[in-house]
A and B are shown apart, each in its own frame.
Chain A
Amino acid sequence: MNMKPRYIYLAAIALISAFLLPAGAAAQTEKMNVDADTSIKKIGPNRAHFVWMMTDFQFYGSSVSAPGYQLRGVGAFGAQALLMYKRKLSNVFSLVGGVGISSLTLYISNNKPSQLDTLFWNKGVVNHDKERMATNYATGTAGLRINMDPKRGDVQGTYLEFGGSGGLLIATRYYTKDKGADGRVIKTTMRKLPYYEPYTYSAYARLGLKGTVVVGVAYRFSDYFKSKYQLPEPGKFAVTLSLNLGG
């Protein structure tokens, strides 16, 4: 019946805890911890002059027929690295231009027997496991940017850009890859091929998406191959993906 001593114990423990806890682990709490930021941010406003690097990837559609050739398809992939310059006209409009190097690679899916090699090798029909054709261009691009996000507008922001690109052919290659009878992989490369048009020109529209990623479409007006060779053209339309790499 006599519970009083227990209550005294409990009260004493509670009192001691009340004094000890604030003096111990719970005495101080970190409320704020800031590392001073000294980095200079090159994003934000819409500068009058701005230079940056851009990489651009193009995915061309497939062309499945070409006179004289039976192909399952030709897929093309383009890539370019550009040094870009922006000249602001107003908060809304800017001119953009750039120079760089681009490449366009055709991945060929032959029907067997392929007639494509006849042209390249001139020794009859040869079936290759893998074939691709690659070209490099010195590229120039120019366009008009309509900025829809006046708070930004250099390499980031929301904007629409229309323009054109042109390229001068500087290198050509034709690659094959086969597996020999003894199991060895045989790779061949041919250079300085005569089949390509020396120039390429196209138009593009790009949409900046509040970040460094830009999506768009491109239409290539020029032909890839000289028409007299009647080679299978890659698609004219491309979906493009560009990355702006700071400034």
Chain B
Amino acid sequence: MNRILLRWALPTFLLLHAAIAGAQQKDWVLLKDKPNGSCAMPGQIFSPEIWQQKQAHGRVFEVTDAPVEQQYIAAIAEIADSLGYASRWMNAQAVWTHSPEQRAKLRALPFVAGILPMSSEPMRPASLRAEAEGKIDTAKIKLTAQDLKLLERQKAFFGDTAAQRHELTGKGVRIAVLDIGFKNVNIHPAFAHIRARGGIIKTYDFVRRREDVYYTGFHGTNVLSCIAGKTPDGKDIGLAPDAEFLLAKTERLLTELKSEEDNWIAAVEWAEQNGAQLVSSSLGYTKQRYFTEDMDGHTSMIARAANMAARKGMLVINSAGNDGTNDWRVICTPADGDSVLAVGGINPYTGYHSDFSSYGPGYPNKLKPNVCAVGTAFMASPKAYTKSDGTSYSCPLVTGYAACMIQARPDLRGALLLKEVEKAGHIYPYFDYAHGYGVPQLAAIVPNHDTARLSALSIDTSGTESIFIRVDSAEYVRAAAQFNNRGKTLLYVHQADANNFLLNYKVYEFTGPGTLEIPEDEIKPGTRRLRFSYGGIMREISLNEAPRGE
């Protein structure tokens, strides 16, 4: 036995021990205070022009805006192996350490409130397909009829007609796009109009700490085009071709390891510092680090930072995630943030939920996603143009919409803007955990738009065992189809409990006038309200009050 121990067990143990000792870990060192925070001035962080703009919207300089205490950082640097980014908002410093002793020493510092381990996995882009990179050959770019049909559809769901667009193009709105990389955005014809007017205000690679973000990663190129790209013949791909952009590379490519959430937080702070009103982030953490109950909007540091962004007057728009068909199933973080606009994906051909799009609710009972847009979109790729699936693309499409809303109503910021985008959803005030409030409609932000929606559904609750919903006339169906910007119409039905938590939700397709019967045995125990949405109107039945023939 001793021989076995000496020959195998002991060397194996020593080898593994050495490996453990050599393993580095990244943590947030959370600080207790900012001793000089009250003395900090806006000029230390913001340019005079940007601060003036922010003040015009009631922005106040807070302690959370002040820089992290330099003396604290210096003391931390003496113990840690190396430093990552410092977060002003979170009052935290990212550090690399290699031993528990180092972390114990850091924890013992009098100004340290705690240590929070950081994910060592990259945030995942919410797209389903990777594509090889290559050179652009503009002569070879040819769009098929299918491409053009998809392009039209992805905007049509917003009610994008010339009349409804009403010159809303995101002009003057500054959007920060956080992604893996923006390969060829500096040369691609889809972005020529943005480059020509100097619309890319700043770029920064938070991974390599340099300005070039165009050298690798196509996902950001896809995403940016869904906000503001154009086809070779000048058709808009997204809704905000005239917006201004801050491009931040916060993640390494998937083949690399050790990407960090401090990059994302640093980029959001950088975006705010540079006057961004919107942050478009098609990235998220799920099971790499968290449990589903952690999707509560305040467990992850990035969700907290995203909520803080709303307090500072920015709106973070994040893709819901692509886990609808796997074990995880629910939204990612930071989409779980209370003040984050989480965007789900719908199928452009059916008009309802794309199966891959992550479901809500946020934990424990939070309406997520907030809104939705098509999850299969036409977009620019580093080589040319392409079609791809993922809530990565729903997110920038809605970002374009939000930019139009700010252009129309410059007073809207942060959480107020989020509420207005929700209200513009095509099924609002109805909601469910797959579509949120639906696709926000341009009609809702056009001045003097016609708010009239369709007349009421006919609901019959007099039966003893069933509820009947009648769509009475073909004319009504046609009107509803027009409302949905597609040939077919959808009836949404949900069952909610006393706390307004959805127990079940369904979507029916109506191809003509007819009656939908909801038998009593399909009603979940605990249901207090049944709500129906069709053609933009909602009807509600309270089961306590409904005459059920009893």
**Residue on A with the closest CB to B23?**
A90
Q: Which of A27, A93, A221 contacts B510 (CB 8 A)?
A: A27
Q: Which of B9, B352, B363, B491 contacts A203 (CB 8 A)?
A: B9
> Is the pair B328, A44 in contact by a Cβ cutoff of 8 Å?
yes
Instruction: Decide if B315 is an interface residue (CB 8 Å cutoff).
Output: no
Instruction: Decide if A194 is an interface residue (CB 8 Å cutoff).
Output: no
> Is the pair A150, B501 in contact by a Cβ cutoff of 8 Å?
no
A36 to B295, CA, bound (A): 15
Tell me if A's interface is mostly helix, strand, loop or mixed: loop
Total number of B residues with any Cβ neighbor in A under 8 Å: 56
Instruction: Decide if B327 is an interface residue (CB 8 Å cutoff).
Output: yes
With a CB–CB cut-off of 8 A, which chain A residues contact B117? 48
Instruction: Decide if B292 is an interface residue (CB 8 Å cutoff).
Output: yes
Instruction: Decide if A45 is an interface residue (CB 8 Å cutoff).
Output: yes
With a CB–CB cut-off of 8 A, which chain B residues contact A29? 508-509, 511
> Is the pair B503, A36 in contact by a Cβ cutoff of 8 Å?
yes
> Is the pair B503, A35 in contact by a Cβ cutoff of 8 Å?
yes
Q: Which of A36, A48, A144 contacts B16 (CB 8 A)?
A: A144
> Is the pair B290, A23 in contact by a Cβ cutoff of 8 Å?
no
With a CB–CB cut-off of 8 A, which chain A residues contact B288? 45, 150-151
CB within 8 Å for A31 and B433 given contacts A89-B20, A91-B121, A221-B1: no
With a CB–CB cut-off of 8 A, which chain A residues contact B363? 40
Binary per-residue interface labels of chain B (493-506) against chain A in the complex, 1 for a CB within 8 Å, 0 otherwise = 00000000111111
**Residue on B with the closest CB to A221?**
B1
**Residue on B with the closest CB to A162?**
B12
With a CB–CB cut-off of 8 A, which chain B residues contact A47? 291
Binary per-residue interface labels of chain B (355-384) against chain A in the complex, 1 for a CB within 8 Å, 0 otherwise = 000010101110000000000000000000
Instruction: Decide if A67 is an interface residue (CB 8 Å cutoff).
Output: no
CB within 8 Å for A34 and B434 given contacts A44-B292, A45-B291, A150-B288: yes
Q: How large is the interface on A (under 10, 10 to 19, 20 to 34, 35 or more residues)?
A: 35 or more
> Is the pair A35, B524 in contact by a Cβ cutoff of 8 Å?
yes
Q: Which of A32, A38, A44, A93 contacts B291 (CB 8 A)?
A: A44
In the A-B complex, the 8 residue pairs with the smallest Cβ-Cβ separation, listed nearest first, are: A27-B514, A22-B512, A44-B287, A32-B507, A90-B23, A28-B508, A31-B507, A40-B293
Interface residues of A (CB under 8 A from B): 22-24, 26-38, 40-48, 89-93, 144, 146, 150-152, 162, 203, 221
14 new A-B contacts, CB < 8 A, other than A28-B510, A38-B364, are: A22-B514, A27-B512, A28-B511, A32-B434, A32-B505, A36-B433, A41-B292, A44-B286, A44-B287, A91-B120, A93-B19, A150-B121, A151-B121, A162-B16
Q: List 28 A-B contacts (CB under 8 A).
A: A22-B511, A26-B511, A27-B512, A27-B513, A28-B510, A29-B508, A29-B509, A29-B511, A31-B490, A33-B504, A34-B432, A36-B501, A36-B502, A37-B330, A37-B359, A41-B291, A41-B327, A43-B327, A44-B286, A44-B287, A44-B292, A45-B289, A90-B23, A90-B120, A93-B23, A146-B16, A151-B287, A152-B287
